[in-house]
Chain A
Amino acid sequence: MTTVTPELDARFRDAAAAAGLLDAAYDVLPDTPLGDLLVGVTDHGLCRIHFDPDPERELESLARQFGPRVLRSTKPVERVKLQLDEYFAGARRSFDIEWDVRPLPTFNQRVLSELARVDYGTTTTYGRLAAVSGNPKAARAVGTVMNRNPIPIVLPCHRVVGANGKLVGYAGGLERKEQLLRLEGALL
């Protein structure tokens, strides 16, 4: 029974990415300090980081948002992987990566670009983030935007906490939020 060898498979995947034929490329990074992470990129930049990935579901979500030509491919994701490794090792404090949040509503995009300015090792609150995004009363809505953040870690929703300093919530689980804040020295 002939089956496609890993070499032939990798050759096709590399060629597809190199030819610029993909709407989105993704790979699963195994065994990071936060477990397996699915990382997705488009020509415009990083578009997905997902905890505990269920690849089939994520593929469909990527296809809906960016187009059906979604393929697992290592090369396009390499740069993100390297920077995440450095970040987890404590050797990187900010990411030098474009991101692609085009499918999101304007409000979400605005909040996420404000979120991106929250520095390593610091925290802000949902209310403050709402205020700098132009709508001080929208703390709750900001919470929802954080919950649906397609690129956690790089867009640092873990740095947003409740007005009372409590961690409140995290789509990847509170343990991970705590772990990230500890890594950054924002929690003792």
Chain B
Amino acid sequence: MIPPFETFYEAHRDEVLRYLNSRLGGQRAEDAFQETFLRALRAYERLEHADHLRAWILTIASRIAIDEVRRRRPHDELSDEAIRHEDARPAFEELAPLTDGLPPKERAAVVLRYGYDLGYDEIGDALGTSDGAARQAASAGVRRLRKERT
């Protein structure tokens, strides 16, 4: 059974705030904190099981932190170096232009798998699907990319 949101929130709120502080700091971290848990709340009733909730909420937080960094900086100033510093996951940026054309679910699965190095169980959580469906979406995405390149 999925725990009551209160229990989940109490268990992870401090860690999420620490993570966002390390990425964004100050007021921006507090805004991102609220956005992270509101987004989790919107997706919460669609979760199929309670495994990997920590990975799930940290994935949401990291996506929000990345969006926030992008939003605050004009694109031309956004060097790869800055992304590396803010995110420490350069692979995500390298994958972005490549995966732009994929259907949303496949794109998310490919980016989470090969950009963030998440396991299929964690990807399934992030997308609200089963491990198997996450694996399938990632491999369908990779197949589509291969096809597009030839």
Enumerate chain A interface residues (CB-CB to B < 8 A): 1-4, 8-9, 11-12, 15-16, 19, 21-23, 56, 59-60, 62-64, 67-72
Q: A64 to B4, alpha carbons, bound, how many Å?
A: 9
Known contacts A4-B14, A8-B33, A9-B13; decide if A68 and B42 are in contact (CB<8 Å).
no
Contact in complex: B6, A67 (CB < 8 Å)? no
Q: Which residues of B contact A68 (CB under 8 A)?
A: 2-5, 44-45, 47
Q: A12 to B37, alpha carbons, bound, how many Å?
A: 8
13 contacts between A and B (CB under 8 A): A1-B18, A2-B17, A3-B14, A4-B14, A16-B41, A59-B6, A62-B4, A68-B44, A68-B47, A69-B45, A71-B5, A71-B9, A71-B41
Number of A-B residue pairs, CB cutoff 8 Å, is 69
- Write the chain B residue with the least CB distance to A63: B4
Contact in complex: A8, B38 (CB < 8 Å)? no
Contact in complex: B5, A69 (CB < 8 Å)? yes
Q: Which residues of chain B from 7 to 35 have any CB-CB distance to chain A below 8 Å in the complex? A: 7, 9, 13-14, 17-18, 21, 30, 33-34
Q: How many residues of B contact A (CB 8 A)?
A: 23
What are the 6 closest A-B residue pairs judged by CB atoms, nearest first?
Answer: A59-B4, A70-B4, A63-B4, A21-B41, A2-B18, A68-B2
- Write the chain A residue with the least CB distance to B36: A12
Q: B65 CB to closest chain A CB, in angstroms?
A: 15
- Write the chain A residue with the least CB distance to B8: A68
Q: A19 to B34, alpha carbons, bound, how many Å?
A: 12
Q: A23 to B34, alpha carbons, bound, how many Å?
A: 18
Q: A69 to B42, alpha carbons, bound, how many Å?
A: 9
Q: A69 to B1, alpha carbons, bound, how many Å?
A: 13
Contact in complex: A8, B45 (CB < 8 Å)? no
Q: Which residues of B contact A1 (CB under 8 A)?
A: 14, 18
Q: A12 to B13, alpha carbons, bound, how many Å?
A: 11
